[in-house]
Amino acid sequence: FFFSPFLMASVVGDIESVLALHPKVKEHAAYVPTRTTKKARKYWKRNEDIHGCSKNRNFDDIKPTSLTERGALFESRRCLKCADAPCQKSCPTQLDVKSFIGCISNKNYYGAAKYIFSDNPLGLTCGMVCPTSDLCVGGCNLYDAEEGPINIGGLQQFATENFKRMNIPQIRDPSLPPLSELPDSYKQKIALIGCGPASISCGTFLGRLGYQDVTIYEREDFTGGLSSSEIPGFRLPFETVKFEIDQMRDLGVKVVTGKELGVDGFSIQSLKADGNVAIFLGIGLGAPRITPIFDGLTEESGFYTSKSFLPRVNKASKPGMCSCKSQLPQLYGHVIVLGAGDTAFDCATSAFRCGAKRVTVAFRRAFRHMRAVPEEVDIAKDEACDFLPYASPSNVTVNEKGHISYVTFERFEEQDDGSYKLDKEQTTKIRADFVISAFGSTTQPHVVEACSPLKIEGGSIKVDDVTGATEVDWIFAGGDIVGNGTTVEAVNDGKQAAWWMHKYLQQNCGLMVPPTPQLPNFFTPVDQVDISIDVGPLHFENPFGLASATPCTSAGMIDRAFDAGWGFAVTKTFGLDKDLVTNVSPRIIRGSTTGHLFGPGQSSFMNIELISEKTAEYWCSHVKALKKKHPKKIIISSIMCAYSKEDWQELTKIAVAAGPDALELNLSCPHGMGERGMGLACGQDPVLVRDICKWVREVSPIPFFAKLTPNVTDVRVIAQAAKEGGADGVTAVNTVSTLQTIKPDSEAWPAVGNEKRTTYGGMSGNAVRPIALKAVASIANHLPGFPILATGGIDSADATLQFIHAGASTVQICSAVHNQEFTVVQDYIYGLKCNLYLMAKDTKNWDGQSAPRVKRLEELLKDGQHLPRFGQFKQQRAAIRKEYAEANDVLEVNEKQTPSRLERELTSEIPSIAGQLGRALDRIGNYGDLNNKEQVVALVDEDLCVNCGKCYMTCNDSGYQAILFDPETHYPLVTPDCTGCTLCLSVCPIPDCITMVPRTIPYAPIRGTPASEDYYVAQKV
């Protein structure tokens, strides 16, 4: 426990001290002088601008898109997961954006990474540097909503970074022939020149296709191309680039460094002579374009180009990039950066980190015509760069020491027709200490010569836009050299070239490839994890099935669901023809438990839909057809009758004759059918349940499961009756009977007919998960080994694992499909496989797929000081960080902030679902089994606290008044009166900010003291 100095004298238990800052009912209008508010505003200000010069030697991540896990989960829940999503159509690599974001919202970061890396092998790099505002984000449908578009780049970065920390190797698609069985055409020699994004992408896809002799040649002594040398570490760390190259190397692709075109006889012709059958040219533009007025000026004169400046900065600041021990360029005073592209802004923000006190970005055109993406410009504005538009450098002045002292600019005037014209009459002379030219790049002459027989004109190569093929049939190219300057465009160039190189190479050996490109997806050993399970004689390929509900309204829907990957399906419940139904409308509504949130992600739905309107004949004929197409899928026919032996046995025989794998007896429909003596009317009585199961057992040679209702006092009694009646297992549980909404005018919803009448309906969705989970666990503990098919609120792999640990063998899903569509099952499959795989690793401090948080350097440096992130305290944090950066080696400082990764090797066998079945049951029991001697208390992590005081308020008005609130820092202060109730943790908006730790002193409950009758009358008002 800790206390601020001003509270040290407070007596614990002094309720006036505890409630000093607690909300009170307002009795009068607020009266505070403006002068007082101005002072307070400065004290509490969190968004105060920090000038770029304070960033000297500080290469911490500055991307505004970067997200913590909390931020990623919040942002991903906003995504609409649109049909025919424009965001995907706007991505050069066609990332399945909605699917990877859906995985993130379910804490399935492996699944998200799998979707991303399948289409973009540099998915982490692109998540960090992609100009998303002009690509995927630019097409987001939420641009038309008040809250704005989704932060797609930040989500992409978060998921792939989390996957990186899992340290799982890439493998080829296990369904493809192994390398040893591929023909010799896959052993042809292939050379890729330049180890940048285009070549890494091309090499990755060639490796996935099975090519076994692919080599990338890189001119530098480090890998990554311009991603390493020219993008600063605060936007793209070298470890990110290395991670993606290592993933490529997992596929057998080799990288040779120190090989530059045109140097020591290394050329395209020499590669051809060395036996390379196909070559991909993925080099960057290595020569800067320099305005003639700067000819003859050197770095000693204060003149840099982006090609000389950024590599020096990165070598000195990116850990692991090289062993050259470079030093940052030593800048000071005023730096002018020429150009308005992304590279120019990288130079500008890097200049601050090299000592510049002021940076001006000068460019020829208007702001609206800048080539840089808004993300880059915004960072420069936030760091207080100055901007000089319409400025073309015309003269440079040097002092007596030969160092730059002034730059003169002429006005580049915009005309009425949108063109620009130089006006030499308008000039501006600006004092400057350094100039960094970022006016573009071209190809070096010796590289042009070494590319023969390929022609390079104007610094670039002409290629086929679709295939990446050049005029020379065995040479392909992509990236900067063909005019596609963004990383993601380069990645796609390499991707598409890989397929057409594959086609060329196979045809070269007389073999054919499919006419439509079929590039393999991203795979790892996780995808080989077995998630099948046997339930009695039934073998489920995976535990995910569709519940007997609206996703199974027709057999055609089940067919599509099986194609999407679902392991089993339960038909919509059908009955005898005499019991056919006709539904009312409206009948399926969003539940009220989500509050005033709309769109996908509803926590519940309520329905008053009856059983299937289709006949038994329809269902039986289609079950036969489905089994013929999907023999390995499990089909369970759901049937319902009134309490009649004849009816149940007749319908059972009809259903069994169609050839399903099992039956489900619907004894639990909570609305409509009960009034007909069916469903709930049967399922609430153990005698009726036992009888019905006996009747079905007499005539059914296949397994059957009784579907139970939660609308009973003790579901174990009903499950026991089903078992005694001969059921092979139970489905637990059906929907919960509810009344959802009554509007202000007293009309209920759903309102049916002109009279606007309603009835009690069944609530589904994750709002009922705790009810279903309790039912499953209680049945599993009561009837060990009795098979349970769980249903009720399963919407993720995490939720599935909860039910498996509670004793369920498989799960049935409905509401999650309401919120999305059938392909969501892939999220669950990837997620469950990864969760099982990680159990075979030493994942100490991990929570499923959630990596432990990495403390920022400033948090480690403040040495116990209570420094929240506002006002003067924020400035103190920045000062501590700045002092440390200036006193220590940049590379060592940056290396300390590299997140840890799991070991690549497994430490145990990967568990099966059967091995996880009921794993939590021995810890679930009666209240009397709980230990009231081993208590916990709340512990607040100041570095995560956002000073909102929610814990303080809830403890006061709903708990035990055991938290004080510091008026100076707004940190909550837990007192020894804490009883460990955990309410504070439950309302805290920041995950892991509050943890419950063992109590170190004995817990003595405060029993209270008797009060006089006038006790409260005598209290101060």
Peptide bond before residue 288 is cis, with ω within 30 degrees of 0: no
Q: What percent of the chain has pLDDT over 90?
A: 91
Burial zone of 11 (CB within 10 Å; 0-12 exposed, 13-18 middle, 19+ buried): exposed
Q: Closest Cα partner for 915 from 805, 782, 1009, 796? A: 805
Structure-token match 């099948």, residue found:
532
Statement: residue 390 has pLDDT above 70:
yes
Q: What is the pLDDT of residues 724-763, one digit of tens each?
A: 999 999 999 999 999 999 999 999 999 999 999 999 999 9
Ramachandran bin of 688, using left for φ above 0, alpha for ψ from -120 to 50, beta for the remaining angles: alpha
Residues 104-133: tens digit of each pLDDT: 999 999 999 999 999 999 999 999 999 999
Is the C-alpha dihedral spanning 898, 904, 906, 912 positive or negative? positive
CA 197/CA 493 separation, integer angstroms: 9
Q: For residue 10, what pLDDT is reported?
A: 43
670 burial type by CB count under 10 A (0-12 exposed, 13-18 middle, 19+ buried): buried
User: Residue 13's pLDDT is what?
Assistant: 47
Tokens of 929: 């089994």
> Is the alpha carbon torsion for 441, 342, 490, 128 positive or negative?
positive
Give the integer Cα–Cα distance in Å for 124 and 108: 16
| Banded model confidence at residue 897, pLDDT cuts 50, 70, 90 | confident
Residue tagged 């309603």 (tokens):
758
In the chain, what percentage of residues exceed pLDDT 70?
A: 98
Is 53 or 169 the better-scoring residue by pLDDT? Answer: 169
State the pLDDT at residue 858.
83
How many other CB atoms are there within 10 angstroms of residue 609's CB atom? 21
Q: What mean pLDDT is predicted for residues 156-178? A: 98
pLDDT in tens, 822-864: 999 999 999 999 999 999 999 999 999 999 998 888 888 888 8
pLDDT average, residue stretch 129-143: 95
What mean pLDDT is predicted for residues 292-308?
97
Asked if residue 640 has pLDDT above 70, the reply is yes
**Encoding tokens for residue 784?**
């060990």
Distance CA 860, CA 856 (A): 7
Running DSSP on this structure, what letter comes out for residue 579?
Answer: G
Active site residues: 669
Average of per-residue pLDDT across 615-634: 98
Strand 729-732, strand 704-707: pairing: parallel
Q: What is the pLDDT of residue 73?
A: 97
What average pLDDT does range 269-277 have in this prediction? 98
Mean pLDDT value across the chain: 95
The confidence band for 358, taking pLDDT boundaries of 50, 70 and 90, is very high
Q: What is the dihedral of CA 306, 312, 318, 324, to 10 degrees?
A: 150
Instruction: Return the closest-CA partner of residue 810 out of 549, 574, 539, 562.
Output: 539
- pLDDT for 49: 64
- Tell me which residue of 383, 384, 306 sits closest to 346, measured CA to CA: 306
> Is the pLDDT reported for residue 7 higher than 80?
no
Query: Is residue 707 very low, low, confident or very high in pLDDT (cuts 50, 70, 90)?
Result: very high
Both tokens of residue 54? 């304070």
**What's the pLDDT score for residue 64?**
86
In this model, does residue 87 exceed pLDDT 50? yes
Are 225 and 199 in contact by the 8 Å Cβ rule? The answer is yes
Taking each helix axis from N to C end, the angle separating 97-105 and 69-78, rounded to the nearest 10 degrees, works out to: 120
- Within a 13 Å sphere around the CA of 678, how many CA atoms are in the beta-carbon half? 22
Mean pLDDT across the stretch 655-669? 98
User: So what's the pLDDT on residue 857?
Assistant: 86
Predicted pLDDT at 2: 42
User: Can you tell me the mean pLDDT for 73-101?
Assistant: 97
Give Cα separations from 445 to 286, 450, 460 (angstroms): 10, 9, 12
- Over 50: is that where the pLDDT of 12 sits? no
CB proximity list for 418: less than 8 A, separation 6 or greater: none
Q: What is the pLDDT of residue 895?
A: 87
Q: Please say if the pLDDT value at position 612 is more than 60.
A: yes
Cis peptide before 64 (omega within 30 of 0): no
pLDDT one-digit tens code per residue, 919-931: 999 999 999 999 9
Distance between CA atoms of 336 and 669, rounded to whole angstroms?
74
The burial of 927, by beta-carbon neighbours within 10 Å (0-12 exposed, 13-18 middle, 19 or more buried), is given as: exposed
End-to-end CA distance of the chain: 31
Model-wide pTM > 0.75: yes
Q: Give the type of residue at 564.
A: A
Residues 524-551 have a mean pLDDT of 98
**Nearest residue to 62 (alpha-carbon basis) of 203, 306, 232:** 232
